[in-house]
Amino acid sequence: MISSPQHKTGDLMNKKTKRTFTPEFRLECAQLIVDKGYSYRQASEAMNVGSTTLESWVRQLRRERQGIAPFATPITPDQQRIRELEKQVHRLEEHNTIFKKGYRALDVRLAERFTIVARLSDSHSVVSLCSALEIHRSSYRYWRKRRDTVNPARVRLCSEIRRAWNQSRGSAGARTLAEMLTQNGVPMSRYRAGRLMKYLNLSSCQPGKHQYKNARQEHTCLPNLLERQFAVPEPDRVWCGDITYIWAGNRWCYLAVVMDLFARRVIGWSLSANADTALISSALRMAYEVRGQPRDVMFHSDQGSQYTGLKYQQLLWRYRIKQSVSRRGNCWDNSPMERFFRSLKTEWVPTDGYTGKDVARQQISSYILNYYNSVRPHHYNGGLTPEESENRYHFYCKTMASIT
């Protein structure tokens, strides 16, 4: 069966593709007519190009030689160089515009550069942004695809991080959050916790280091038996105490605390409007009763008049507790207590204080019982809470006793 001419013509048109010509070829064709005197017909037959196309190339060649920039792709070397320089100027101007918007530093991490590209993609092309920030477009596309994809595991980790951070009232840093989540069955390193905190725009409210003065003068009667030996082998071997002030209502109140140095567990506290012997005696009595009236305990404090007074010394003697005091003006001799008060005030106490003494007493008791002793990981305990550290010690002792 013979196909009709219409079908043959259609097949040829479908197979026909549009020809493309390089600038060098167009220049050579135009020079045949302008410089060598060829006619349009001769040049068309020699170069296999239509006469209309040759006419447009000839006009472009003559205009470029007159210094007129063409709208199409230049064919003369001078105009090609001018066009390339114009592109470079435009590219540099756009880069400067990007940098003027506050993104001058190229030494930031790759993820931050991707974020910048996404933020400025409405006003600049992705090609220009990637070129200015020196990143590959394929890498940016991969990052954007990952960002738009919901990762259930990451969402869960972010939720856990925010929950633990809220529980600490914004005081926990990356290390503390990692330890809290690990104890709750969500293994996490401090570095990953830090990345998630940065992603969630969370930060710790802990202040910087405070400069303390140093002194070496000893008390004339009471010795410094502890001598900064804060690592204690067992509970109820060494206690330490101190007083701090808390704003409640329209006046200062005073908080006395007793801590067991073995696991840094707070075992006694008392709040009063007066910083007197009755305040510290109340905290000591609480610790003595809570711990089951232990014997052979050392109590360490500073040289405050409340702790070195006769009434308090008599109470210690009645409980058969040895007394040790820091050197005068040297807070580092009682640094565990200083560290606890710092944590309390930065993690829990509002910046403007409490509305009243009863509220302060309730909130501070909640911090000690429901957070500091039972939830908050302590670096001294290897990331364990004070309660968990003591529980493990007692479990180990019972296990060894059953074996022997």
pLDDT digits (tens, 9 = 90+) for 319-357: 999 999 998 878 889 999 999 999 999 889 988 889 999
Any alpha helices (H) in 294-385, and if so which ranges? 305-308, 310-318, 335-347, 357-367
Q: pLDDT higher for 10 or 91?
A: 91
Q: Answer whether residue 240 shows pLDDT above 70.
A: yes
- Pair of tokens at residue 211: 């400069």
**pLDDT digits 0-9 by tens, 75-101:** 667 777 777 777 777 777 666 666 656
- The reported pLDDT for the residue numbered 283 is 97
In this prediction, what percent of the chain has a pLDDT beyond 70?
A: 86
**Residue 132: CB atoms within 10 Å:** 23
Q: Sorting pLDDT into bands at 50, 70 and 90, what band is 209?
A: low
- Given a contact cutoff of 8 angstroms between Cβ atoms, the answer to whether 60 and 30 are in contact is yes
- The reported pLDDT for the residue numbered 197 is 87
DSSP conformation class of 184: T
Contacts of 177 (CB under 8 A, 6+ apart): 161, 164, 165, 168, 188, 190, 193, 197
- The reported pLDDT for the residue numbered 265 is 97
- The reported pLDDT for the residue numbered 280 is 96
Q: Sorting pLDDT into bands at 50, 70 and 90, what band is 22?
A: confident
Averaged pLDDT, 36-65: 80
- The reported pLDDT for the residue numbered 10 is 47
238-397 belongs to CATH 3.30.420.10: yes
Return the SS3 of 354.
Answer: strand
Distance CA 123, CA 145 (A): 21
Q: pLDDT higher for 230 or 56?
A: 230
Q: Sorting pLDDT into bands at 50, 70 and 90, what band is 8?
A: very low
- The reported pLDDT for the residue numbered 202 is 84
Q: Sorting pLDDT into bands at 50, 70 and 90, what band is 56?
A: confident
Distance CA 362, CA 335 (A): 25
Q: Answer whether residue 212 shows pLDDT above 50.
A: no
Using CA atoms, how far residue 117 sits from 96, 131, 134, 192, 283, in Å, is 15, 10, 11, 24, 59
Query: Residue 193's closest CA among 177, 208, 216, 205?
Result: 177
- The reported pLDDT for the residue numbered 208 is 55
- The reported pLDDT for the residue numbered 385 is 94
- The reported pLDDT for the residue numbered 207 is 59
Distance CA 55, CA 51 (A): 6
Query: Residue 39's closest CA among 54, 24, 18, 17?
Result: 54
Q: Tell how far CA 222 is from the center of its chain.
A: 47
Averaged pLDDT, 147-164: 81
Return the SS3 of 125.
Answer: coil
- The reported pLDDT for the residue numbered 6 is 46
Contacts of 320 (CB under 8 A, 6+ apart): 295, 296, 297
- Pair of tokens at residue 345: 């005030």
- Given a contact cutoff of 8 angstroms between Cβ atoms, the answer to whether 143 and 118 are in contact is no
Q: Answer whether residue 12 shows pLDDT above 50.
A: no
- Given a contact cutoff of 8 angstroms between Cβ atoms, the answer to whether 236 and 297 are in contact is yes
Q: pLDDT higher for 295 or 210?
A: 295
- The reported pLDDT for the residue numbered 360 is 94
**Residue 399: CB atoms within 10 Å:** 10
- pTM of the shown model: 0.55
**pLDDT digits 0-9 by tens, 179-195:** 888 888 888 888 888 88
**pLDDT digits 0-9 by tens, 126-139:** 887 787 777 888 88
Return the SS3 of 71.
Answer: coil
Q: Answer whether residue 46 shows pLDDT above 90.
A: no
Domain ranges for the chain, please list them: 77-148, 154-199, 238-397
Q: pLDDT higher for 57 or 310?
A: 310
DSSP string, 41-55: HHHHHHHT--HHHHH
Distance CA 77, CA 75 (A): 7
φ and ψ of 265, to 5 deg: -90, 130
Half-sphere exposure of 33 (CA within 13 A, CB side): 25
Task: Give the containing element (helix H, strand E) for 240.
Answer: strand 238-248
Q: Sorting pLDDT into bands at 50, 70 and 90, what band is 16?
A: low
- Given a contact cutoff of 8 angstroms between Cβ atoms, the answer to whether 40 and 55 are in contact is yes
- The reported pLDDT for the residue numbered 137 is 84
Query: Pairing mode, if any, of strands 297-301 and 238-248?
Result: parallel
Query: Residue 358's closest CA among 297, 271, 276?
Result: 271
Any alpha helices (H) in 220-276, and if so which ranges? none
Query: Residue 362's closest CA among 350, 354, 373, 351?
Result: 354
CA quadruple 226, 232, 236, 240: dihedral sign: positive
